[in-house]
Structure 1
């Protein structure tokens, strides 16, 4: 994996897991976290949450409106503060979203078996689009986007259908989009991500890494 945008790092977690509906302790923790988060913020404060603010500034630099194309962490926090809660999908998505709303980082989780070849994070070119999860024909030009050999598949606002996490035994690639170069902060949340996987899923072969910008 390679990062071709300056000032950006990716926190990456590789693991194999049985993807299934969340139950028991994970659902309790999810509901408690959503409730606590809803009490912590006012709607006007969300854009100033540090890692959300960094993402918004990066969007502006790349030429994308951060308000029209809200990053996933910001969009979820806004739903929570408005009292709309979050959808429950499966154990991998729930952990993805828990870390996102707690940290302010946008995070994508992808079925690694649906991907091929080298993966790069780079700005999407003019006219680039894809069908997103629960959405169709998303304009992704100028967003920071993950590409493999088949094309674009993920970004901090909305991921494509192609590598969507579905139930069953899966090899998963979870990516934390960090628009700063402070590795200690990212390491903290990678460790927390791993802890939740170990506590609430049967994940094995867990491996974490931080990808820094390419110097080539």
Structure 2
């Protein structure tokens, strides 16, 4: 699988970075009780924290809101997925379990305060490019709407756009039939590569402890715009 970071994003922000994990031979099922319990407790603690510190004052959320503006999108109209999750929890609208791939994806997004997407890589065709969307970029999303991704980063394969830090597409959604997956971490620009690799390794370890399988990581940036996984 060849994955590249398009120059359109680096031109907008020279420190733009993407973290990649590619999983193979995984078995996705309902999350074990340990994960469900940990997720519930984490959300309850976040709710209490956000009584003192509003969502938009949290460092990771704030940095991505600023990046949203730099890229040309309105962070109040198109909230990135990590902020949307946080806002749900601030209203005590806690996330309910889906399956182990989605549940861990949401947990990582909350824990690291960054948008993260996970995709069934068996549903992807050809090379993957992560670029900046325009008025013609869009897809049917998990939110039940057709989403236009103008000035929002997005991922595309041979068949078209399939993911973004705003909302992901129906076409590449993971399920309990998924045996290989692509995890895309929309890293904060302030994070250096060493810390990013540590974060990806920690996430990959936890994901495969629950879902089995193997994984490989990489980081895309201005210094390294291409990878093959």
TM norm structure 2: 0.87
Q: Which residue of 1 aligns with 2:161?
A: 152
Gap change, CA 1:15 and 1:48, over 3 Å in 2: same
Gap change, CA 1:215 and 1:208, over 3 Å in 2: closer
Deviation at 1:198, TM superposition (A): 3.3
Deviation at 1:185, TM superposition (A): 2.9
Pick which of 99-108 and 132-141 moved more.
132-141
Structure 1 residue ranges without an equivalent (≥5): none
Q: Which residue of 2 aligns with 1:184?
A: 194
Deviation at 1:26, TM superposition (A): 1.3
Q: Which residue of 1 aligns with 2:182?
A: 173
Q: Does 1:52 align with 2:61?
A: yes
1:82-161 equivalences in 2 (<5 Å): 82-161=91-170
SS of 1:75 mapped into structure 2: helix
Q: Deviations over 1:39-95 (max 9, x none)?
A: 222386322322222221222122211111111111111111111101321101111
Q: For 1:94 and 1:215, how far apart are their aligned partners in 2?
A: 29
Tell me if structure 1 keeps the 8 A contact 2:21–2:215: yes
Q: Does 1:8 align with 2:10?
A: no
Q: For 2:107 and 2:84, how far apart are their aligned partners in 1?
A: 13
SS of 1:42 mapped into structure 2: helix
TM norm structure 1: 0.92
Deviation at 1:109, TM superposition (A): 0.1
Q: For 2:59 and 2:184, how far apart are their aligned partners in 1?
A: 18
Structure 2 residue ranges without an equivalent (≥5): none
Q: Which residue of 2 aligns with 1:28?
A: 37
Q: Which residue of 2 aligns with 1:211?
A: 220
Aligned alpha-carbon RMSD (Å): 1.9
Runs of 4+ in 1 over 4 A off after TM superposition: none
